[in-house]
Structures are given as structure tokens and as C-alpha cells.
Amino acid sequence: MGSLDFLFYPKSVAVIGASHVPGKVGNAIMRSVTLRFNGKVYAVNVKGGEIEVNGKKFKVYRSIKEIPDEIDVAVIAVPAKFVPDVIDECGEKGVKGAIVISAGFKEAGRADLEEELVKRARKWGIRVVGPNCLGVTNLENGFDCNFNPPERQARPPFGKVAFMSQSGAFGAAILDWAAREKIGMSKFISLGNMADLDESDFMDYLGDDEKTGVITGYLEGVKDGRKFLETAKRVTLKKPVVILKSGRTEAGAKAAASHTGSLAGSYAIYRAAFEQSGVLEATTMRQLFNYAKVLAMQKPAKGDRVAIVTNGGGAGVMMSDGLLERGLKMAELSEETLKKFEEDVKAGKLPAHMSYKNPIDVIGDAPSSRYEIAMRYALEDPNVDVLVVIALFQSPALDEGIIDAVERMKAYGKPIVFVAPGGDFPHKMARNIEQKGIPVYETTEDAVDAVYALVKYGEWLRENGKL
């Protein structure tokens, strides 16, 4: 297929259907694309004239063919019936890619119009995103043709998670949530009806994209089952793929058909395909990001044995329950590890009333130094594959030294998941810990998701000789 870099790293972009009227899609796209993007942007509208957005003035060309420059990508936001002719003009201009925002195709009962759009695009060798989509966003270089304006929908910081969505509205919510949670994203693709480029094409591209560490997606149905299976099997050996599949029920499948014209198919078949190809399936929006966040920040686990260090006994019990309910194991600490704890208790380095069987309960009066001893001993144990650290920061004894102490634990090379329940102060501490590269979750339930993702993806890599 060749690289799709031209869609994410264009040097020049034409917005066809650009508008000076606030609230119009063509105006919102101009505002988004001119905010941070350093490439050339051209406005096209049959009415001509001039547009001012973000304090910059743009001449409006009546046709893309009038632009005195080469154009890499055309963003099309004109009524559906005009799109095939616009594609022809783009072809004459030598455009490589078209992002068709316009709706009114297969999802509205006009499969014939969508087929005509694809026929014209193929004639010229133009690759098409959409139609009926929200746009494409590259957080690295600021190329952003998302028609939701920044004051309504935030953009996350640049990071390792790529997201593709068959639903524009769901995609917008994900971008907003990622921005609020400070989860860095590399690229966002609103797939729309997938008339040409589909989820497998983008999965393939993102699999080779050095800026992307985790591929995530919301899908209602796949366009070509065999192509998806083959692509996913190949890509998941390079990096994790997490999919939230909707249309799991009969009612949901019918809704998907009217939404993007997607045939959801049997959910049992999808589950089997995900299992066979190493795709991690999320069942909720929250789970999708629990998985993505940890896989972006930690190496996959080499086994399923988990140790817990906590200053709250109840939280340790809840975490244990959650792990066992997901089919994971509580690590049985070795005799050597238990002896280390016993000797430290005798020497007065650790209190006699703490529990050092897994979960390791350092007790509510634990300072960061006590946490550090417990974390070290757990990570040094060959029976431990993953460490979960639970910190109830409400305790006045727990000092900020825990931030650097947890960072020092990275030297052991085993995955670590941190849990910090509560309000403003725990949230502030969580942000500081995440800056050190350790993922932090607010609840034990979310942390269970994270550990499960590390173990499950590790299993897939081991089964295929990659870990």
C-alpha cells in the first residue's frame, strides 16, 4: 500500500468548503488546521472572497485547481452530492489524500454515491479517509482538521497512544478525556464509513509508526475480516493493539448499521478473532484507557504473579480479589524474601506489627523509606512478575520521598502499577509519579485492568517467541 505519511505529515493542505461563518463546519476546520500546523493552508469555496481565522487572512480560491502550489491533502466539507466532482478536481491537481468530512453517503442510504466517490478516487490514485468523519489529528506536528473547535474539545499532549474511531462523537470524547488525564497521544483518525482506507490500513501504518507505542480503536465492525485478522496478527507482535468493540448485542448491531452503515456481525466471531490475533479487547471506554495507559508506560509482564505493597489493608484485599477474579495469581514470596523481612523486623528497620506476606502491608504509619524496603524485596523476588503499589496519601506519615523511591524501582526492569485513591492531594502526587514514567490509577479496579493488560499482552508475545 505504501506509507500513509502524506495524510499525517502534509506540506500543504486545501480546505474545500472553507467558510468565514462561525459555527459552520468549514470554518471550524480552518480554525483547527491553522492553529498549530506550520504547513501551507489554502481555503477553497466556490463563492471566493477572503476568510480571517485565528488572526490570519486567507484568500479563498473558487477551485482547488486555481491554487498556485502543489497540494498533498484535501479536506472536503461540501454537500455529499458535490464530492465526486470535487475528487476529480483534486485528481487533476495531483492530490495524494482526501479527508472527506461530508456526511450523506452509505450511512444515509446513498451507497451509490459512496461507490462513485471511491471509483473517482481510485481513478486518480487518491487515498480517502471517511466519508462521514470528524477528521485526522497529528499531535506531533499540529496537523489537525478535526471540526470540533479547541474551546469545545481539548487536544491531548503529544505521546505514544494512537486512537482510531468509527464514531466521530466517541472519538471526540476520547480526545477530551485523554487531554484531561494528561495521556499523550500520537495520532487520531476518525474512520467514518471507511469507503477506502479502513481500520486494517491504519493499524498497519501505525504498526510501523515510530511515534506510536500503543494502537487503540473504537470499532463497530471491520470491513474485511480476513485482512483484519492477518494485519492484527502481524502488528500485535510489534506493539499492543487495544480495541473497544460495540454492537455486541443485537440491538447494538442494528444501531451500528444505521450509524456508519457498518455490518457488526456476530460478536462471538469478533471475540475469537481478537483472541487469535493478540488484540486486547476492552469492554468500556475507561478500560480502553486503563489498558492503553499502562502499555504505553510499562513493559509487558513475563508472567502472571503479582505482589502488592500497600499502607491500607482493605485496599490490598480489594486488589487481591480483583486480580484473582481476572484469573491472575498472587505471588508466593520466596523463603529468602520472607527472611529479609524478618531480619529487618528484628533489627528494628521495620515494625513488628506489619504484615510481609503478600499483600505486603506496610501499615498506615509508613514513611517512604519503609515503602522502599518493601518494594525492593518484592521486586528482587524471582516469584514476582508485576508489582502493584497502593498509597493512601491521606496518611500524614507518607512523605513525598515516595516519588523518587518508586522511580528507583524501575532499575529492576519489572512492570509497576501505582494506585493512589482519593481527591486533590493524591491526584497531585499521582501526576508527579507519572512524570517519572510509572502509571497511576485512582481505583484498585482500574489497576486490576492495567495489570491484566500487561500480563495478557506478555502472554501473547511469549507464545509467539517475542518475550
pLDDT for 82: 98
Ramachandran area for residue 301 (φ above 0: left; ψ -120 to 50: alpha; else beta): beta
**Pairwise CA distance, residues 336 & 409, whole Å:** 19
pLDDT for 212: 98
pLDDT for 43: 98
Do 62 and 80 form a contact (C-beta atoms < 8 A)? no
The pTM assigned to this predicted structure is: 0.94
H-assigned helices in 311-396? 313-325, 335-346, 368-380
Angle of helix 225-235 relative to helix 199-207, nearest 10 degrees, comes to 10
Domain boundaries, the chain: 1-134, 153-297, 299-464
Q: Is 301 exposed, middle or buried (0-12, 13-18, 19+ CB in 10 A)?
A: buried
pLDDT for 257: 52
Residue partners of 332: CB distance under 8 A and separation at least 6: 305, 358, 383
Cell of 404: 523518587
pLDDT for 251: 58
Cα separations (Å) of 230 from 177, 241, 277, 461?
Answer: 31, 13, 8, 16
H-assigned helices in 77-110? 83-93
pLDDT for 291: 97
Do 381 and 333 form a contact (C-beta atoms < 8 A)? yes
CATH top-level class for 153-297? alpha beta
pLDDT for 345: 97
Do 282 and 218 form a contact (C-beta atoms < 8 A)? no
**Pairwise CA distance, residues 11 & 38, whole Å:** 8
List the pLDDT tens digit at each of the 467 positions of the chain: 469 999 999 999 999 999 999 999 999 999 999 999 999 999 999 999 999 999 999 999 999 999 999 999 999 999 999 999 999 999 999 999 999 999 999 999 999 999 999 999 999 999 999 999 999 999 999 999 999 988 888 999 999 999 999 998 889 988 998 998 889 999 999 999 999 999 999 999 999 999 999 999 999 889 899 999 999 999 999 999 999 998 766 655 565 555 445 444 578 889 999 999 999 999 999 999 999 999 999 999 999 999 999 999 999 999 999 999 999 999 999 999 999 999 999 999 999 999 999 999 999 999 999 999 999 999 999 999 999 999 999 999 999 999 999 999 999 999 999 999 999 999 999 999 999 999 999 999 999 999 999 999 999 999 999 99
Q: Which CATH number fits domain 1-134: 1.20.1090.10, 3.40.50.300, 3.30.310.50, 3.40.50.720?
A: 3.40.50.720
pLDDT for 264: 47
CATH of domain 299-464: 3.40.50.261
pLDDT for 58: 97
